[in-house]
Amino acid sequence: MIIRNSLRTGCIASLWLLVVFLISAVPSYPWGSAGHDYVTSAAIEAIPEELQPFYKKNSRMIIALAVLPDWWKDTHRADESFRHFINLEYYSTMPGFTDIPRSFKDAEAKYGRKNMINWGVLPWAIVERSYRLSEAFRKEDLEEIAVQSSILSHYVADLHMPLHTTKHYDGLTDAQDGLHGRFEFEVLDRFVSSEDITPGIPPIITDPWESVFSWMIETHSKVDALNQADIEARAKTQSYNAAYYDDFARIAKPMAVNQLSQGAARLAALYTWAWTKAGKPDIPAKWAPLYWDDLGAKKTEPAKQ
Ligand SMILES: [Zn+2]
């Protein structure tokens, strides 16, 4: 297992961080929290109807905790930050990156763990969390299903942000500094709303490794167009002003909408895959009993339904 963090320790820490978050300036989250909200809520609408009662009952919590892995980057940076990106150019120079091993074990044997930590392991984190979600379904553990669904959502959304798949994560040159934020914060804030996110029918997943890797490579193929749109829009303006964003958004808005919609559909597909692999258990429309009355004293009994 490549993820060593204790889920519950992370959750407890996150409750404190939630307090900090609510009283501090908006921190820098990949995709912004809006992007993670959009992907999670749209995925919940796209899952099979057998799963919807549980997910809808717990949707506010599942959506809210989709930013949890970014909080972990503050509390467990050395253990967590490399799960949010992959610098594909370091892994392979082959067109389509076809020589990157799908299994983490094979990849580790080829590249070495230290390099993988430096280059990012996002696709492997997604597959690993998909299996953990499936195990939660198998155990019919409502708390675990909810929290693993949130965490998986976070990484799937990150995988659909083109700049999370490249070593040029903030633009090709110093002149483009800030591209990351201009795309995932400003474009979303100015031009995208939840109604824009339309996942459509989720794909059927038979092999999560192949699916996740193909999504990653497709996302990476958007990097050049995003850079080009930024460079061209900036060349026409004196600063990153409204005119710049109007121009940049001609490419960046449909790209963001498409990536978030695709991310939502594929997240729904992974939820479905995990549930199917677990034998499609009946998951009741009950609250997931995620509650602490003080640190370390989690109550396992749900409130009266
Ligand atoms: Zn992230």
Q: Name the residue with tokens 């597909």.
A: 269
Q: pLDDT over 90 for what percent of the chain?
A: 81
Distance CA 126, CA 137 (A): 16
pLDDT average, residue stretch 126-130: 98
pLDDT average, residue stretch 206-227: 97
Classify the C-alpha dihedral 31-32-38-44 as positive or negative.
Answer: positive
CA 208 to centroid of ligand 1, rounded, Å: 20
pTM for the full model?
0.87
Residue 299: inside a domain, yes or no?
no
Beta bridge partners of 169: 171
For the cut 90, the answer to whether the pLDDT of residue 4 exceeds it is no
Distance CA 123, CA 112 (A): 16
CA 279 to centroid of ligand 1, rounded, Å: 30
Q: Which pLDDT belongs to residue 23?
A: 31
Distance CA 66, CA 54 (A): 17
Please, which pLDDT band fits residue 227 given cuts at 50, 70 and 90?
Answer: very high
Report CA 55 to chain centroid distance, whole Å. 18
Mean pLDDT of the chain: 88
Q: Structurally, how many domains does the chain consist of?
A: 1
CA 155 to centroid of ligand 1, rounded, Å: 6
How does pLDDT run across 133-173, given as a tens digit for each residue? 999 999 999 999 999 999 999 999 999 999 999 999 999 99
Which one is predicted more confidently, 8 or 116? Answer: 116
Distance CA 278, CA 131 (A): 10
Residue 289: inside a domain, yes or no?
no
82 contacts 121 by C-beta, under 8 angstroms: yes
Q: Which residues contact 175 (CB under 8 A, 6 or more apart)?
A: 234
CA 65 to centroid of ligand 1, rounded, Å: 12
pLDDT average, residue stretch 36-62: 97
Residue 240: inside a domain, yes or no?
yes
**Which residue type occupies 4?**
R
Parent domain of 130: 29-277
Q: Which pLDDT belongs to residue 297?
A: 63
How does pLDDT run across 247-281, given as a tens digit for each residue? 999 999 999 999 999 999 999 999 999 999 999 99
Please, which pLDDT band fits residue 238 given cuts at 50, 70 and 90?
Answer: confident
CA 143 to centroid of ligand 1, rounded, Å: 22
Residue 3: inside a domain, yes or no?
no
CA 291 to centroid of ligand 1, rounded, Å: 24
Residue 294: inside a domain, yes or no?
no
Q: Name the residue with tokens 């990150």.
A: 158
Please, which pLDDT band fits residue 15 given cuts at 50, 70 and 90?
Answer: very low
Distance CA 111, CA 214 (A): 20
Buried b (16+ CB within 10 A) or exposed e, 221-238: ebbeebbebbbebbeeee
CA 9 to centroid of ligand 1, rounded, Å: 18
Buried b (16+ CB within 10 A) or exposed e, 74-112: eebeebbbbbbbbbbeebeeeeebeebbeebeebbeebe
Q: Which pLDDT belongs to residue 28?
A: 45
Residue 179: inside a domain, yes or no?
yes
CA 77 to centroid of ligand 1, rounded, Å: 12
How does pLDDT run across 66-107, given as a tens digit for each residue? 999 999 999 999 999 999 999 999 999 998 899 999 999 999
Domain CATH number, residue 254: 1.10.575.10
Residue 23: inside a domain, yes or no?
no
CA 200 to centroid of ligand 1, rounded, Å: 24
Residue 292: inside a domain, yes or no?
no
CA 76 to centroid of ligand 1, rounded, Å: 13
For the cut 70, the answer to whether the pLDDT of residue 30 exceeds it is no
How does pLDDT run across 285-305, given as a tens digit for each residue? 999 977 777 666 666 666 555
* Token code pair at residue 171: 């633009």
CA 69 to centroid of ligand 1, rounded, Å: 6
Q: Which residues contact 16 (CB under 8 A, 6 or more apart)?
A: none
